[in-house]
Protein backbone atom coordinates (compact mmCIF):
# COMPACT_ATOMS: atom_id res chain seq x y z
CA UNK A 1 0.00 0.00 0.00
CA UNK A 2 2.86 2.38 0.84
CA UNK A 3 4.58 1.59 -2.46
CA UNK A 4 1.39 2.49 -4.37
CA UNK A 5 1.14 5.83 -2.50
CA UNK A 6 4.77 6.70 -3.35
CA UNK A 7 4.25 5.77 -6.99
CA UNK A 8 1.07 7.86 -7.15
CA UNK A 9 2.85 10.82 -5.49
CA UNK A 10 5.77 10.48 -7.92
CA UNK A 11 3.39 10.57 -10.90
CA UNK A 12 1.71 13.69 -9.50
CA UNK A 13 5.07 15.44 -9.11
CA UNK A 14 6.10 14.46 -12.65
CA UNK A 15 2.73 15.64 -13.98
CA UNK A 16 3.08 18.95 -12.07
CA UNK A 17 6.57 19.53 -13.48
CA UNK A 18 5.37 18.83 -17.01
CA UNK A 19 2.47 21.26 -16.57
CA UNK A 20 4.84 23.88 -15.17
CA UNK A 21 7.19 23.53 -18.16
CA UNK A 22 4.33 23.73 -20.67
CA UNK A 23 2.80 26.73 -18.91
CA UNK A 24 6.15 28.54 -18.86
CA UNK A 25 6.61 27.88 -22.57
CA UNK A 26 3.15 29.22 -23.38
CA UNK A 27 3.67 32.35 -21.30
CA UNK A 28 6.99 33.11 -22.98
CA UNK A 29 5.68 32.63 -26.51
CA UNK A 30 2.49 34.64 -25.95
CA UNK A 31 4.38 37.44 -24.17
CA UNK A 32 6.01 38.44 -27.44
CA UNK A 33 9.38 36.87 -26.73
CA UNK A 34 9.28 34.59 -29.73
CA UNK A 35 10.95 35.20 -33.07
CA UNK A 36 7.61 35.50 -34.89
CA UNK A 37 7.12 39.18 -34.05
CA UNK A 38 6.90 41.42 -37.13
CA UNK A 39 10.01 43.32 -38.10
CA UNK A 40 9.62 46.90 -39.29
CA UNK A 41 11.80 47.64 -42.29
CA UNK A 42 13.61 50.96 -42.37
CA UNK A 43 12.22 53.24 -45.08
CA UNK A 44 8.81 51.55 -45.31
CA UNK A 45 5.67 53.30 -44.07
CA UNK A 46 3.90 51.59 -41.18
CA UNK A 47 1.31 52.31 -38.49
CA UNK A 48 2.53 52.61 -34.91
CA UNK A 49 0.64 52.76 -31.61
CA UNK A 50 1.88 54.03 -28.30
CA UNK A 51 1.91 56.86 -25.78
CA UNK A 52 3.21 60.30 -26.68
CA UNK A 53 5.78 61.65 -24.23
CA UNK A 54 8.06 64.69 -24.09
CA UNK A 55 11.65 63.89 -23.11
CA UNK A 56 14.55 66.23 -22.36
CA UNK A 57 17.82 64.96 -23.81
CA UNK A 58 21.28 66.21 -22.87
CA UNK A 59 23.43 67.08 -25.90
CA UNK A 60 27.19 66.61 -25.52
CA UNK A 61 28.96 70.01 -25.41
CA UNK A 62 31.17 69.11 -28.39
CA UNK A 63 28.07 68.37 -30.50
CA UNK A 64 25.79 71.16 -29.33
CA UNK A 65 24.79 74.26 -31.25
CA UNK A 66 23.99 76.78 -28.47
CA UNK A 67 21.73 78.79 -30.79
CA UNK A 68 19.55 75.73 -31.36
CA UNK A 69 19.71 73.84 -28.05
CA UNK A 70 20.22 76.27 -25.17
CA UNK A 71 22.16 74.91 -22.19
CA UNK A 72 22.81 71.73 -24.16
CA UNK A 73 19.29 70.46 -23.53
CA UNK A 74 16.91 69.38 -26.24
CA UNK A 75 13.26 68.42 -25.83
CA UNK A 76 11.75 65.94 -28.25
CA UNK A 77 8.47 64.13 -28.57
CA UNK A 78 8.76 60.36 -28.48
CA UNK A 79 6.42 57.45 -28.99
CA UNK A 80 6.59 54.86 -26.21
CA UNK A 81 5.27 51.53 -27.44
CA UNK A 82 3.83 48.80 -25.20
CA UNK A 83 6.68 46.44 -26.07
CA UNK A 84 9.90 46.32 -27.99
CA UNK A 85 9.64 47.15 -31.68
CA UNK A 86 12.27 45.59 -33.93
CA UNK A 87 13.62 47.66 -36.82
CA UNK A 88 15.83 46.29 -39.59
CA UNK A 89 17.53 47.83 -42.60
CA UNK A 90 20.74 48.89 -44.28
CA UNK A 91 22.67 51.29 -42.03
CA UNK A 92 24.85 53.77 -43.97
CA UNK A 93 26.81 54.67 -40.83
CA UNK A 94 27.90 51.01 -40.58
CA UNK A 95 29.25 50.89 -44.10
CA UNK A 96 25.98 49.82 -45.69
CA UNK A 97 25.62 46.68 -43.59
CA UNK A 98 22.27 45.24 -42.53
CA UNK A 99 21.48 46.29 -38.96
CA UNK A 100 18.74 45.32 -36.50
CA UNK A 101 17.73 47.22 -33.36
CA UNK A 102 14.86 46.82 -30.89
CA UNK A 103 13.40 49.91 -29.23
CA UNK A 104 10.50 50.87 -27.03
CA UNK A 105 11.01 54.65 -27.19
CA UNK A 106 11.28 56.22 -30.65
CA UNK A 107 11.75 59.91 -31.44
CA UNK A 108 9.04 61.56 -33.54
CA UNK A 109 10.18 63.76 -36.45
CA UNK A 110 9.10 66.28 -37.61
CA UNK A 111 7.91 67.47 -34.26
CA UNK A 112 4.32 68.48 -34.80
CA UNK A 113 4.21 70.33 -31.52
CA UNK A 114 0.56 71.33 -31.77
CA UNK A 115 -0.65 67.79 -32.44
CA UNK A 116 1.69 66.05 -30.02
CA UNK A 117 1.30 68.58 -27.19
CA UNK A 118 -2.46 67.94 -27.22
CA UNK A 119 -1.84 64.17 -27.14
CA UNK A 120 0.86 64.24 -24.44
CA UNK A 121 0.48 61.19 -22.18
CA UNK A 122 -2.28 59.72 -24.36
CA UNK A 123 -2.42 56.72 -26.63
CA UNK A 124 -2.07 57.60 -30.30
CA UNK A 125 -1.92 55.80 -33.62
CA UNK A 126 0.16 57.32 -36.35
CA UNK A 127 1.58 56.48 -39.72
CA UNK A 128 5.29 57.07 -40.11
CA UNK A 129 8.37 56.10 -42.05
CA UNK A 130 11.17 54.82 -39.79
CA UNK A 131 14.68 55.97 -40.69
CA UNK A 132 18.06 55.61 -39.02
CA UNK A 133 19.00 58.60 -36.88
CA UNK A 134 21.20 60.89 -38.97
CA UNK A 135 21.84 64.11 -37.02
CA UNK A 136 23.19 64.99 -33.60
CA UNK A 137 19.66 65.95 -32.53
CA UNK A 138 18.18 62.53 -33.27
CA UNK A 139 18.35 60.94 -29.83
CA UNK A 140 17.11 57.43 -30.58
CA UNK A 141 18.79 55.05 -33.07
CA UNK A 142 15.64 55.11 -35.21
CA UNK A 143 13.37 58.12 -35.74
CA UNK A 144 9.82 58.10 -37.05
CA UNK A 145 9.07 60.62 -39.80
CA UNK A 146 5.40 61.16 -39.07
CA UNK A 147 2.95 61.32 -41.94
CA UNK A 148 -0.31 62.21 -40.21
CA UNK A 149 -1.24 61.48 -36.60
CA UNK A 150 -4.81 60.29 -36.21
CA UNK A 151 -6.91 62.46 -33.93
93 and 76 share a domain?
Answer: yes
- Kindly list the distances between the CA atom of residue 123 and the CA atoms of 51, 73, 130, 151, in Å, as whole numbers in the listed order: 4, 26, 19, 10
The number of folded domains in the chain is 2
Spatial contact of 77 and 108, defined as CB atoms under 8 Å apart? yes
Predicted confidence (pLDDT) at residue 149 exceeds the cutoff of 70: no
pLDDT of residue 74: 78
58 and 92 share a domain?
Answer: yes
Predicted confidence (pLDDT) per residue in 77-107, tens digit:
999 998 899 999 998 877 888 889 999 999 8
20: left (phi over 0), alpha (psi -120 to 50) or beta: alpha
Beta bridge partners of residue 89, listed in sequence order = 99
127 and 83 share a domain?
Answer: yes
Predicted confidence (pLDDT) at residue 139 exceeds the cutoff of 50: yes
pLDDT of residue 134: 78
Predicted confidence (pLDDT) per residue in 46-72, tens digit:
999 999 999 888 777 777 676 666 777
Predicted confidence (pLDDT) at residue 39 exceeds the cutoff of 50: yes
- Domain range holding 25? 1-36
Number of Cβ atoms within 10 Å of the Cβ of 121: 9
Amino acid sequence: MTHQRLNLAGNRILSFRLQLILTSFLILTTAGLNAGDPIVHIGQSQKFKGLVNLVTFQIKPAQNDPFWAKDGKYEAYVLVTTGLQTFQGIEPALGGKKHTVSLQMIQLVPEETDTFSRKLGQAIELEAIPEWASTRYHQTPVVLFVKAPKE
